[in-house]
Structure 1
Amino acid sequence: MIMDVTIYHNPDCGTSRNTLEMIRNAGIEPIVIEYLKDPPSREELVRMISDAGLTVRQAIREKGTPYLELGLDNLDLTDDQLLDAMLKDPILINRPFVVTPMGTRLSRPSEVVLDILPETHKGAFAKEDGEQVLDAEGKRIV
């Protein structure tokens, strides 16, 4: 299956690794952008957040980041201020964002990516923790 898929990936993140492998299980080799090394532009970040149906605040990662130290929990901060912080310190961008012709998702949990992939999965798939996501026919386990 030829499909342009881009994943904004952090190889140290289990959710991101699981998402990447689910994309590959669909027979797609995505464009992998390690966003900590190569962050998206402001325009790309705004578009991904909007296309995923999220608010800027929903796209911020709190865990394992300087979120609290930077005072980003202040609800008076504007979207522009939050975006500035995310672009200055990309660890604040939640992950993994996946962009396909079928849509854009913040794939948390990782199986959310299945909503924007064709049903071309090559058999069963389990996450790193052993949780089964796809059955032997490549169908989603609900």
Structure 2
Amino acid sequence: MFAVSSVPYGTRTEVTDSDRRKFAEVFKKCDENDKGYLNTEDLKVAVMMLFGYKPSKREVESMMSAAQQNTTGMSLDGFLKSMSTKKAAQLWYDEARQIFTAFDMRYRGFLTLDDFKTAFRLILPHFSERMVIEAFREVDQDSDGLVSYKTLSWPSTME
């Protein structure tokens, strides 16, 4: 049975000063020849160091164009903003995944309307059934009666 205490309520979703210091250290390590900016190859290495995966060409181009303040590369300020956004999205994604898993009591990889009703009854017992049904319809994007974790909408920073 679903235990309310298993929901990671209050999980950290903010980027800390410690995170920002780590981002600055990685920037310095990846800024070859102390040029004051990261080119696309430097940025790939930095993301690998911080997040443990090689970003796609599209993701790197997107980060560069969003943060680029000059034509040569990404400045420290742009890098800090970009990595903070990425980290906050990752924290949100991790928390959402934990909540979804708590609701998926049968470990099927999807939620049914009955799963929704059970979860809402336990967590928000005064929430009307009509509102639960409306919430379910909102997240059941393809109207197949199932909500899969993979089909949920995520922040645009999640690639």
| Same-fold status (TM-score > 0.5) | no
Structure-2-length-normalised TM-score: 0.31
User: Higher relative CO (CA 8 A, sep ≥ 6), structure 1 or 2?
Assistant: 1
Choose between structure 1 and 2: higher strand proportion.
Answer: 1
Choose between structure 1 and 2: higher helix proportion.
Answer: 2
Larger Rg: 2
